[in-house]
Amino acid sequence: MTKFHQINLFIVSLACTACFPGGFFKAEIPAGTKKSPASKLLATIETDGAVTATIDPTSLDTQVVSAPKSGALKDSYVSIPPGALGIATELTIQEGVSLASGSVASSIGVEESALVKKGPALMIESSAKVDPIKPFTIAISLSSETALKLQEERIAIIYQIRKYSEGGKVYLGVIPANEVTFNGNQVSFSTSYFGSFQPIENVPAIEAVKEVASDEPIIAAKDIAAIADDEEGYIATGLKSATKYYWKVEAIDESGNVISTSETRTFTTQ
């Protein structure tokens, strides 16, 4: 049976390596954060929807970095245990582009229906181009309406990570439900890499970790632009000189689902 979609807009994704300067703000402990006497909430710098905190590799505390206080990632956080990082680094947390798409499903060898978006993508980057020495925890908050409708055994995490131990190679994969903790309106899990992570409801269930190499860049949500289907083009502004950019176009239906994706292409500014 042929399935027709109404296309409401197109998404232009544009990504490059970027820095995150900005002003200071005092972070609040996110709701649901599991703290102990050895947990320390770090001060953060916020700019353009991203927060940055400095990790002390010599700290004996579990260092907690809360996501931006407003927006899709509100009350989400990252928890870094002692000894997880061998050198001082700045961690940046922001919303990533949704990974629940047909192109991602095809890449990891599952049906598109197995990747149903149920929460925002949390993107975490390190200024030091190294992998963690041991796993850390990510907790992503869901809306109350979404959480009420979910079944714990169907919650999984789709991810796009960068392995610096392999020269910065990017991988796509899924963390199955049996490795994800669902606690009320929050899901948490462990990872040993930086990248982008998103809660999904996967039916039929993916029962084991799936991971494949990818040529796709890891993109922040703020680096995409939405254009109506009657617009003839898009002009990117504010680009850095002598910088390589990656871009692609996605067609979005009225429900926000990605129904078509172009190939990722590149250009370099002068």
CA nearest neighbour of 98 among 80, 62, 81, 73? 73
Q: Which pLDDT score is estimated for 4?
A: 38
Domain ranges of the chain: 19-219
Q: Which pLDDT score is estimated for 89?
A: 96
Contacts with 163 (C-beta within 8 Å, 6 or more apart), sequence order: 131, 169, 170, 171, 193
> For strand 244-253 and strand 224-228, is the pairing parallel, antiparallel, or unpaired?
unpaired
Q: Using an 8 Å Cβ cutoff, are 138 and 197 in contact?
A: yes
Q: How many CA atoms lie within 13 A of 263 on its CB side?
A: 2
> For strand 155-163 and strand 169-175, is the pairing parallel, antiparallel, or unpaired?
antiparallel
Q: Which pLDDT score is estimated for 100?
A: 86
Alpha carbons 123 and 73: distance in angstroms, whole number? 10
Q: Which pLDDT score is estimated for 19?
A: 40
Residue bearing tokens 């040993």:
192
Condensed to tens digits (0 to 9), the pLDDT of residues 39-70 reads: 899 999 999 899 999 999 999 999 999 999 88
The yes/no answer on whether domain 19-219 falls in CATH 2.60.220.30 is yes
CA nearest neighbour of 118 among 91, 83, 87, 156? 156
Q: Which pLDDT score is estimated for 126?
A: 96
Alpha carbons 172 and 195: distance in angstroms, whole number? 10
> For strand 7-15 and strand 194-201, is the pairing parallel, antiparallel, or unpaired?
unpaired
SS3 content of the chain, % helix, strand, coil (to 5): 10, 45, 45
Instruction: Report the alpha-carbon angle 141-105-198, nearest 5.
Output: 10
Q: Which pLDDT score is estimated for 79?
A: 97
pLDDT in tens, the chain (270 residues): 333 334 444 555 555 544 433 333 333 445 544 444 478 999 999 998 999 999 999 999 999 999 998 899 999 999 999 999 999 999 999 999 989 887 888 888 877 777 788 899 999 999 999 999 999 999 999 877 776 666 666 788 999 999 999 999 999 999 988 899 988 789 999 999 999 999 988 766 677 778 999 988 898 988 876 666 666 667 777 677 877 776 777 676 665 666 676 767 777 888
Q: Which two tokens stand for residue 259?
A: 């129904």
Alpha carbons 270 and 147: distance in angstroms, whole number? 47
